[in-house]
Amino acid sequence: MPYELAGRLVVGIASSALFDLAESDRVFREQGEETYRAYQREHLTDTLEPGVAFPFVRRLLSLNDLAEPDDPLVEVIVLSRNDPDTGLRVMRSIQSHGLAISRAVFMQGRSPYRFMPALNMSLFLSANQDDVREAVALGLPAGHVLGPVAEDEPEDTDLRIAFDFDGVLADDSAEQLYQSGGIEEFRAHEVANADVAHDVGPLKEFLTAVNRIQQREEEERRKDPTSRIRVHVSIVTARNAPAHERAVTSLNRWGLRVNDAFFLGGIDKGRIMSVLKPHIFFDDQADHLESTARTTPSVHVPFGRLNQPPAPPTTATPNP
């Protein structure tokens, strides 16, 4: 019987997001591919250090203890630009760190993000900004990892995930209105449509899969009141009252839930992150992430009009 991915939370992870590849990348850029190959072979047994997304991935995989070993809730698959030869060091490092990742796609010099739909992925994380932008342009749920490598206590299995709302869980239509009409027009529109759910954004299906795991945790807690809830989800958005109501309505209509909501109305998100301490935070606006990425593993989701390159200037054609 084939291994079925439907019904699981499947995350694609580039080796650049999972591990610190700064030294390897420097060798590749400065000395070329053949020297890079020799370097990776020479350091094959040297375990790579964790990267930005490592604590998030480790905690995500730990949730498989809620299921039978042959029927995991979470599947993480490496999607890498390495070829199989140079990818050996990545797989050995995965094994050395005790991560339950056994599946990988290695494509020499090419990004394998186009295989995301075939692999039922609801998220792809990479430190390669171009790959992420190309994936999002194709309608795929991808994010560019930024920020520090957080300290990761191996015995700690709690997982805190934080999302911006517009342009991440919802589409960016409200943000477009704000940019074109200003705050008052935005608020008036959101109040008038408070009972109308937004169209979904790129990471809605990822949150859907996370909610399924939270439901499994609740089932375990009903059977064993001493079991601990580990997954905690927050939205952290620049919306505030009265525009907050439509965000809550949208989540309800989509059948989704979050544990906490921060309606900040322009307050610096970085200040909240330094207290909330999520293991990963998703936002579509790079200027917000300049603040959060100082203390928090952050992900830029380059979705929507704000993330489109500016149109080239038009040159007037002189009259003949």
Each residue's pLDDT tens digit in the chain (320 positions)?
789 999 999 999 999 999 999 898 899 889 988 898 888 899 999 999 999 999 999 999 999 999 998 999 999 999 999 889 889 999 999 999 999 999 999 998 888 999 999 999 999 999 999 999 999 999 999 999 999 887 787 778 899 999 999 999 999 998 888 888 888 888 898 899 899 999 999 999 999 999 999 999 999 999 999 999 999 999 999 999 999 999 999 999 999 999 999 999 989 999 999 999 999 999 999 999 999 999 999 999 999 988 987 766 655 555 55
Q: Which two tokens stand for residue 212?
A: 């399924």
Cis ω for the linkage preceding 242 (within 30 of 0): yes
Paired strand residues for 199: none
H-assigned helices in 116-259: 129-137, 173-192, 204-223, 244-253
Q: What is the pTM of this model?
A: 0.93
Query: Helix (H, G, I), strand (E, B), or coil: what is residue 268?
Result: coil
Q: What is the pLDDT of residues 14-38, one digit of tens each?
A: 999 999 998 988 998 899 888 988 8
H-assigned helices in the chain: 15-18, 22-31, 33-42, 54-62, 88-96, 129-137, 173-192, 204-223, 244-253, 269-276, 286-292
DSSP string, 100-122: ---EEEE-TTS-GGGGTGGGTEE
Q: Please list, in sequence order, all residues whose beta carbon lies within 8 angstroms of the beta carbon of residue 32, skipping any fewer than 6 positions away.
A: none
Paired strand residues for 105: 79
Predicted pLDDT of residue 86: 85
Predicted pLDDT of residue 311: 62
Q: Which domains does the chain have, with CATH numbers?
A: 9-146 (3.40.50.1000), 159-307 (3.40.50)
